[in-house]
Structures are given as structure tokens and as C-alpha cells.
Amino acid sequence: MDTYEALFIIDSSIAAKDWAKVTNYVSGVVGKYKGEVLAMSRWGERKLCYSIGPHKRGTYALMYFKLPRPAVSRLRHDLQLAEMIVRFIVLRFEGEAKELPPPEGF
């Protein structure tokens, strides 16, 4: 299994109401493909540089997880279908996974 990191922009209205719902959904999708969440950090809500559909604000979150390489494309597909996730990026991670604080000035 490879280690991956994912950065999410999550619908702020859903994240503010029920953060546990967001983490449970994302962890469930990773678990569905025999993966393991290593760490997840909520970075907070920010104004987006440009509107994405009806969204002008988003809650950012960073997650590290392990997943078999063939399952990554199916995971991306499931995340694209989730209404709570506005945007995301998944990258293979070479370093040591740990929970990180938000970047300076965030």
C-alpha cells in the first residue's frame, strides 16, 4: 500500500453543522477500498478566490491515508460524486505522514 495525501475544500455549511459527518464519510470511502486513514486535520474556513458553482467559501482539510494503488481511481470517482466535497486533490506522499498545523497566514 502506498501513502497518499489529500487536500479537500468542503462545503462550509455542512462542515460547520456536522464535522463528524464529513470525517466519517471520507474515512468510510477510504475504508471501502481497504485503506487506512493515518491523520486528518481541519484547517478552517476561507473565502474562495473564485466561486465554484454556488460556493463562495470553503472549509479546508488535509488528510493522509494508505491505500492500494489500483483503488486510487475508484476513490477519486467516489469523492467527485460527494456533494459535500467542493474540490479535492490526491497525491502520492513520500514522507512521514503526520498531522500538520495550518500553513502560516492561513
pLDDT at 15 over 60: yes
Q: Which residues pair with 58 in a beta bridge?
A: 11, 46
Angle at alpha carbon of residue 91, lines to 12 and 9, rounded to 5°: 5
How high is the pLDDT of residue 95?
A: 72
Beta pairing, strands 85-92 & 2-11 = antiparallel
pTM confidence score:
0.85
For residue 100, how far is the Cα from the chain centroid? Answer: 14
pLDDT at 55 over 80: yes
What is the per-residue DSSP string for 29-86? HHHHTT-EEEEEEEEEEEEEEEEETTEEEEEEEEEEEEE-GGGHHHHHHHHHH-TTEE
Average pLDDT of span 52-77 = 94
Average pLDDT of span 34-39 = 92
